[in-house]
Every structure is written in C-alpha cells, then in structure tokens.
Amino acid sequence: MEQENTRDKDFYWKLFKSTFLISTFTVGGGYVIVPLLKAKFVDEYHWLDDKETLTLVSVAQSAPGVVAVNAAIIMGYKMAGLRGAFCATFATVLPPLITLTIISYFYSFFASNHYMQIVLKGMQCGATALIIQVMYDLLKKQWSKKVAFPIMITLGTFIANYFFNFNMMYIVLVDALIGLFLLQDKKYE
Amino acid sequence: MIYWELFISFCWVGVFCVGGGYASVPLIQHQVIELHHWLTMPEFLDIFAISQMTPGPIGINAATFVGTKVAGIGGAITATVGFVLPSFIIMIILAKLLARYGDLGAIRGILNGLRPAVIGLIASAGVMFFTLAIWNTQKIPTNLASTDLAGLLVLAAAFIAVRKKIFGVIQTLIAAGVLNLLLSFIIK
C-alpha cells in the first residue's frame, strides 16, 4: 500500500479538484457521495477497481464517523498513502465549511431564493442519475457472477434499509457475521 | 478556552457517532444544546433544514455552524478538525490492518459479507434519492399527481449523458442544475 506514495503532483491536484467539486455539488450528504466518488475514481479515472472500492467502503461504514468522510479518507490512503488521505479529507470537508460559513450569514436569502432552489433541485436529479448508473453497474456485475449468497445479502440489506429503516450499524453487523461464518470461501470474493 | 472546548466536543461526537448519517444528531444535540448551551433548539433545527439543501454531511455542517456562531471562522475550523480527526486516525489504522491481515480467512469472510451489503446500501440510497427527486418523498410514492415532470426530464437526460459517457461526474451535476433552471421557464 505504501509504495503508491510516489504519485506525481498532477495526481494530487486531480484528486483534490474532483473530490472538492463532488463534495460541493452533492446536496443531501450522507451516503450519496459514495457512489459519486466511485463513479469518478473507478469508472472515470481507473485509480481503483470495483472490488477494492467496495472493500474500502465496507470498512468506512463499519467505523465511527461520517461515511462520506471515512470513505474519502480510506480511498485517498489506498490511492496515495497519508498524503492522499489528507488531500481527499481536506477536499471533502472544505466545501461544506465554506458554504456553511457563508450561509450562516445569509441564511434567509439562501433559503428563500427561488432560482437557487431550482438549480439545487436539478443537481439533486443529476446526482440521482449518477447513483442509479453506479447502482445498475454494480448490480449487473454481481448478477453476472451467479453466486446466490452475495445476491441474497444485497437484497436483504436493501429491504432492511429501505423498507424497514433498520439502523445501518445493525445491518452491517449482521452482514459481517454472515460473512464471518458462511462466506470465507474464495468463490464469494 | 473556547477553541479547546469546541475541539474536544466535536472530537467526542466524531468518536461516538456510529451508524452514519443522522446517528450523529443526538450526540451533537447533547454537546451543543444541553452541555454547552452554544445553540438553542430552533437554531439546531435550522441546521437540519440547511443540511438538506447544502453540500456536506450534517455532522460537518453542524460543526461549522456552531463553530462560526461561537467563535467565528476560527471556531468553525476548530470544530470541523475536531470532528474529522478521530475518523482520520481510525481509518488510517484500519487501512493498515486491512493491508496486513486482509487475507486471513475470518477477515476475508467478513469483507465478503460486507461488500454485497454496500451494493444494497447504494441501491437503497439510489431508490430513496429517486423518489425524493421526483415525488419529494423517501418512500414509495402514493400520490402520482405530485410528479415533478421537469425533474424527471433532467434525470433522464443526465442518465443518458452518463451512460453514453458524454459527461463526467462534475459536468453532469452542473448541467443538471442549469437544465432544471431552463426547464422551469418553459414548464408551468
């Protein structure tokens, strides 16, 4: 992992710029930024592959803290060591810091500006399209492997989270236990 | 000293906020309203409203908002750093452990259980965001009359642009915002 420290300047600038912009334009927070980072780092830049990303996000959401920030930290670290982690974290945190500082002075203007609302709404739709694309892609790949157990976990997690609003922490814990006892075989990778 | 108190308070939230998203809300509420009286309840609820339409997770937004209010921009930075620092340390440690022990049978099993779970959670976020964007509800819509036609058009256009690789991630977000504004002059 450490050998990847030898990234050039251009890499850090690209990492910072893309993470900063995704964080800026991603309204709603939380889990939304994860598929967008995946779309950028994996599908656009090919800095990571699907499996690595899913592993890193698994770790990110099993630890304390905000998933979006955790994911940025660990993906940055995987791609370029401590410097990458720092760069990605800084780029994730800076946009809300800037916007919120400005907005805390102009809140009433911002909240009531009609055109601002429409643009933000449009961005929300754009983000949705990106999430659906990532989701479609991952589901298709998983389906094509034709291994029943992981597909059942995906489905079960989706139902527990979407329909029953179970606390994410419990869902993740149950899935980890299922994995620990039943999925150690290589064919489940 | 106020900076130190802000830093420690949000470190605390960062360490104990387990479960993502809104799990941090009661912790922040406890630190900021009950323990330190930095905000009132209505001000705290405002942060919710703001977080719905600005970038960033609610934890970061709350840290910034509270920090600004208590000690200006320096306060915002201190609180945010306090909030992120525990995550940073924990993630680096976990990444190192993963690199070293990732091949152990037990760890491999756990990760094999968690990877499909991530796909399920992304799917859940996708469906939630879809209904939220078009019908303004996180659950399956019951009232189809409230369909946002412009939003549906923007979403479809963005989806095609992404699938055909016409736009990258950033361009898609910006173009979707602009397109929705243009459509708002045409539709109704």
Residue A157 placed within a domain? no
Whole-prediction pTM value? 0.82
The 10s digit of each residue's pLDDT in A116-166 is 888 888 888 998 999 899 999 899 999 998 889 999 999 999 999 889 888
Report the number of distinct structural domains present in chain A.
1
Query: What does the pLDDT read at residue B53?
Result: 65
Q: Which residues of A touch B123 (CB under 8 A)?
A: 135, 139, 154, 158, 162
Residue A62 placed within a domain? yes
C-beta atoms of A64 and B15 within 8 A? yes
Residue A75 placed within a domain? yes
Q: Which of A90, A100, A115 to mutate to test the interface with B (most CBs of B within 10 A)?
A: A100
Please give, rounded to a whole number of angstroms, the shortest distance from the CA of A128 to a CA of chain B: 6
- Nearest chain B alpha carbon to A120: B177
pLDDT range class, residue A1, cuts 50, 70, 90:
very low
Three-state DSSP at A27 gives strand
Query: What does the pLDDT read at residue A66?
Result: 84
C-beta atoms of B119 and A138 within 8 A? yes
Q: Which residues of A touch B114 (CB under 8 A)?
A: 54-55, 58-59, 62, 172, 175-176, 179
Nearest to B129 among A127, A161, A180 (CB): A127
Say whether residue A184 is in contact with chain B using an 8 A CB cutoff: yes
Residue A89 placed within a domain? yes
Using alpha carbons only, give the angle B171, B174, B178 rounded to the nearest 5 degrees: 130
Nearest to B174 among A25, A35, A57 (CB): A25
What is the ipTM metric for this complex? 0.83
CB hemisphere CA count around A169 (13 angstroms): 13
The 10s digit of each residue's pLDDT in A80-96 is 999 999 999 999 999 88
Q: Which residues of A touch B96 (CB under 8 A)?
A: 1
pLDDT range class, residue B136, cuts 50, 70, 90:
confident
Contact A36, A113 (CB under 8 A): no
Query: Which residues are within 8 A (CB) of A16 and not within 5 positions of it... i.e. 6 or more apart?
Result: A87, A88, A90, A91
DSSP for residue A185: S
Q: The domain containing residue A45 runs over which residues?
A: 2-110
Residue A173 placed within a domain? no
Percent of chain B with pLDDT over 90: 38
Contact A85, B94 (CB under 8 A): no
Q: Which residues of A touch B159 (CB under 8 A)?
A: 129, 132-133
Residue A133 placed within a domain? no
Residue A181 placed within a domain? no
- Interface A-B, measured as beta-carbon pairs within 8 A, has a size of 366
Three-state DSSP at B1 gives coil
Nearest to A122 among B117, B129, B154 (CB): B154
Residues 86-145 of A with CB under 8 A from B: 89, 93, 95-97, 99-101, 103-104, 107, 111, 115, 117-135, 138-139, 142
Residue A152 placed within a domain? no
| The pLDDT of residue A168 is above 50 | yes
| The pLDDT of residue B172 is above 60 | yes
What is the enclosing helix (H) or strand (E) of B26? helix B24-29
